[in-house]
């Protein structure tokens, strides 16, 4: 039984050149992160602090969210609470309706992706414009992000160029990134100036001040919110930080971890509505409060969506974001998917070599790999364990518990060396896929020991 991940991965790997590029490029980002983190002597202390602050804030969400709301209201914002994706989308639609708005310009938000908001609003006839370059490219190509920070990392410049020839009328055959980026800049300028309502996610929401913080390199969130009268900011409730002092820990970690920069170009603090405008803030649960009840997985709420666990993951780098069945790929996505619906997303838990590199680099110290291991132990219980691996494991257990039989079996093992390939590499041997078995030794260690061949 191949998982959906391994089947999709096989398609990604089929393009060897692209796979190698993807692998090397993400590793380059990881290396930049290392350089950045090594330049800060207190790096490990920062990670510890970030983890401890998150454990505090996520175990005090009730009081911190109320504090945030009180301060946001005092700032003049309008605060909404959404239990789930449907409520979230309905709130946004109602705001658009109140303002007779048709065009919504938005910056990148994994939360709106999680809520399926764009599709929902588009079906209602609204024009949704993604303003992050990568997201805009994906929107034009009718694709979803394959990485949470570098959403179009799987697309080659030639493909972008060809698409833009059709959409924007750029020069034929010109796939220079600067040329293409500036073509989008020109096109987007007009969109920024004419959109009816602006929407952003939030990287952080500060309880003590009621402000939300958005980090971008492009400045697209800030351009988007500069012209319409109405700004909607939406955030998953684990984005809360207690104070600006605590925020300092996270703004030092986020970009260094995610892209290997000391900080994003823009770290924007939105506090009050503009004169004569409205500032709506949506606080979203959508399953987050359920995670609180799972002590083994509670640290998933630490996540600041930096994407570093993807950059470092040997499986993600070599199989691409689309190989995973949850909309967030990589180590964080494997875990979030299992928390969302373990039966539906269990295919992803095998997309992990348990190397624990993700756990070692995570800026908020989530035990990502360890949690994946724990999910695997649960597979049988939810009826998702691989049948052939179960049979093989059962056989191994049977042998291991019977030393005589085991030693006899071992004596016959070298016969495998001479067996025809079809008998070894077939559908029954999951471990034979994409791997070559080592040659069995002519004599077992036990026999060598007994015959005094080992001193």
Partner 1 sequence: MSSKNDILSAIRSHTGKRYNMPDLTLDAIVYEDKIAQFSDALQAAGGKAVLLQPGEDVNDIIRQHFPDAARIASNLPDITCATFNPDDLADPRELNNTDLAIVEGHFGVAENGAVWITRQVKHKALYFISNSLVMLIDREAIVNNMHEAYKRTEGMTYDFGAFISGPSKTADIEQALVFGAHGPVGVLVILK
Tell me the closest approach of the beta carbon of residue 94 to partner 1, in angstroms: 13
Tell me the closest approach of the beta carbon of residue 127 to partner 1, in angstroms: 18
Cβ-contact 350, 332 below 8 angstroms: no
Is 219 or 432 the residue whose CB approaches partner 1 more closely? 219
Is 195 or 352 the residue whose CB approaches partner 1 more closely? 195
CA distance 404 to 94: 73
Tokens 């697209």 sit on residue: 220
Tell me the closest approach of the beta carbon of residue 121 to partner 1, in angstroms: 20
Is 227 or 425 the residue whose CB approaches partner 1 more closely? 227
Is 25 or 444 the residue whose CB approaches partner 1 more closely? 25
Tell me the closest approach of the beta carbon of residue 268 to partner 1, in angstroms: 4
Is 255 or 368 the residue whose CB approaches partner 1 more closely? 255
Is 133 or 202 the residue whose CB approaches partner 1 more closely? 133
HEC string for the chain: CCCHHHHHHHHHHCCHHHHHHHHHHHHHHHHHHHHHHHCCCCHHHHHHHHHHHHHHHHCCHHHHHHHHHHHHHHCCCEEEEECCHHHHHHHHHHHHHHCCCCEEEECCCHHHHHCCHHHHHHHCCCEEEECCHHHHHHHHHCCCCCCCCCCCCCCCHHHHHHHHHHHCCCCCCCCCHHHHHHHHHHHHHHHHHHCCEEEECCCEEECCCCEEEEEECCCHHHHHHCCCCEEEEEEEHHHEECCHHHHHHHHHHHHHHHCCCCCCCEEEEECCCCCCCEEEEEEECCCHHHHCCCCCCHHHHHCCCCCHHHHHCHHHHHHCHHHCCCCCCHHHHHHHHHHHCHHHHHHHHHCCCCCCHHHHHCCCCCCHHHHHHHHHHHCCCCCCCCHHHHHHHHHHHHHHCCHHHHHHHHHHHHHHHHCCHHHHCCCCCHHHCCCCCCCCCCCCHHHHHHCCCCC
Is 187 or 429 the residue whose CB approaches partner 1 more closely? 187
Is 46 or 349 the residue whose CB approaches partner 1 more closely? 46
Tell me the closest approach of the beta carbon of residue 114 to partner 1, in angstroms: 16
Is 4 or 274 the residue whose CB approaches partner 1 more closely? 274
Tell me the closest approach of the beta carbon of residue 428 to partner 1, in angstroms: 42
Cβ-contact 296, 246 below 8 angstroms: no
Tell me the closest approach of the beta carbon of residue 418 to partner 1, in angstroms: 49
Tell me the closest approach of the beta carbon of residue 44 to partner 1, in angstroms: 11
Tell me the closest approach of the beta carbon of residue 106 to partner 1, in angstroms: 13
Quickly count: other Cβ atoms within 10 Å of residue 40's Cβ: 14
Is 133 or 336 the residue whose CB approaches partner 1 more closely? 133
Tell me the closest approach of the beta carbon of residue 411 to partner 1, in angstroms: 53
């Amino acid at each position: 039984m191949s998982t959906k991940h391994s089947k999709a991965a096989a398609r990604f790997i089929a393009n060897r050149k692209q796979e190698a590029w993807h692998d090397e490029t993400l590793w380059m980002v990881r290396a930049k992160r290392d350089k950045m983190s090594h330049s800060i002597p207190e790096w490990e202390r920062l990670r510890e602090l970030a983890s401890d602050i998150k454990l505090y804030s996520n175990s005090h969400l009730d009081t911190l969210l109320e504090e945030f709301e009180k301060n946001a209201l005092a700032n003049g914002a309008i605060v909404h609470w959404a239990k789930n994706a449907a409520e979230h989308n309905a709130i946004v639609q109602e705001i658009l309706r109140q303002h007779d708005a048709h065009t919504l310009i938005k910056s990148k938000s994994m939360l709106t992706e999680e809520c399926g908001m764009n599709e929902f609003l588009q079906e209602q006839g609204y024009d949704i414009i993604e303003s992050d370059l990568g997201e805009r490219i994906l929107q034009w190509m009718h694709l979803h992000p394959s990485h949470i920070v570098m959403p179009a990392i799987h697309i080659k410049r030639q493909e972008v160029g060809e698409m833009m020839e059709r959409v924007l009328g750029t020069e034929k055959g010109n796939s220079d990134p600067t040329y293409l980026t500036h073509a989008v800049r020109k096109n987007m300028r007009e969109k920024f100036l004419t959109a009816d309502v602006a929407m952003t996610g939030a990287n952080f929401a500060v309880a003590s001040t009621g402000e939300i913080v958005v980090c971008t390199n492009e400045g697209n969130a800030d351009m988007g919110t500069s012209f319409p009268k109405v700004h909607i900011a939406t955030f998953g409730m684990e984005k809360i930080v207690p104070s600006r002092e605590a925020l300092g820990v996270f703004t030092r970690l986020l970009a260094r971890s995610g892209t290997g920069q000391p900080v994003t170009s823009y770290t924007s603090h939105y506090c009050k509505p503009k004169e004569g405008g409205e500032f709506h803030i949506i606080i979203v649960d959508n399953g987050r409060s359920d995670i609180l009840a799972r002590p083994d997985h509670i640290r998933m709420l630490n996540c600041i969506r930096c994407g570093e666990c993807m950059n470092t993951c040997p499986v993600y780098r070599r199989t691409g974001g689309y190989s995973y069945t949850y909309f967030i790929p990589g180590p964080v996505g494997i875990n979030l998917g299992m928390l969302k619906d373990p039966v539906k997303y269990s295919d992803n838990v095998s997309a992990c070599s348990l190397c624990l590199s993700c756990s070692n680099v995570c800026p908020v110290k989530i035990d990502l790999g360890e949690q994946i291991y724990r999910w695997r132990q649960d597979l049988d219980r939810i009826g998702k364990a691989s049948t052939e691996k179960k049979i093989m494991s059962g056989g191994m257990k049977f042998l291991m518990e019977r030393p005589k039989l085991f030693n006899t079996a071992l004596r016959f093992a070298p016969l495998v060396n001479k067996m025809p390939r079809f008998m070894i590499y077939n559908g029954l041997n999951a471990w034979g896929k994409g791997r070559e078995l080592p040659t069995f030794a002519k004599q077992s260690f036990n026999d060598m020991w007994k015959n005094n061949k080992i001193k």
